[in-house]
Amino acid sequence: MSPTSPISASPFISAATPTTLDIHTTTPAGLVALQSQLPAVQAAWLSSSGFAARPSGHMLLPAADGGLGAVVAIVDPTDPVWTLAALAESLPAGQYRLVAGGEIADVRSAALGWALAHYRFDRFKSAPRPTAQLLVDADVQAGVESLVAAISQVRDLVNMPPNEMGPAELADAVRALGSQHDAVVREWVGEELLAAGFNMIHTVGRAASRAPRLIELRWGDVNAPRLTLIGKGVCFDNGGVDIKGPEGMRWMKKDMGGAAHALALARLVMQAKLPVRLCLLVPAVENAISGDAMRPGDIVRTSAGLSVEIHNTDAEGRLILGDALTHAAADKPELVIDMATLTGAARIALGPELPALFSNDDATAAGLLQHADETSDPLWRMPLWRPYRRMLDSSFADMTNAATGGHAGAITAALYLERFAPAGAAWVHIDVFAWNDAARPGRPRGGEAQGLRALFSYLQARYGMGTAGA
The residues assigned a catalytic role are 244, 318
Give me the residues paired with residue 133 across strands.
95
Phi (first) and psi of residue 352, to 5 degrees: -80, -15
Q: Which burial class, exposed, middle or buried, applies to 78 when counting CB atoms under 10 A from its CB (0-12, 13-18, 19+)? A: exposed
What is the Cα–Cα distance from 147 to 449, expressed in whole angstroms?
A: 10
Q: How far is CA 243 from CA 76, 135, 248, 287, in A?
A: 45, 51, 9, 10
The residues, any chain, with a CB within 8 Å of residue 57's CB and separated by 6 or more, are 51, 73, 74
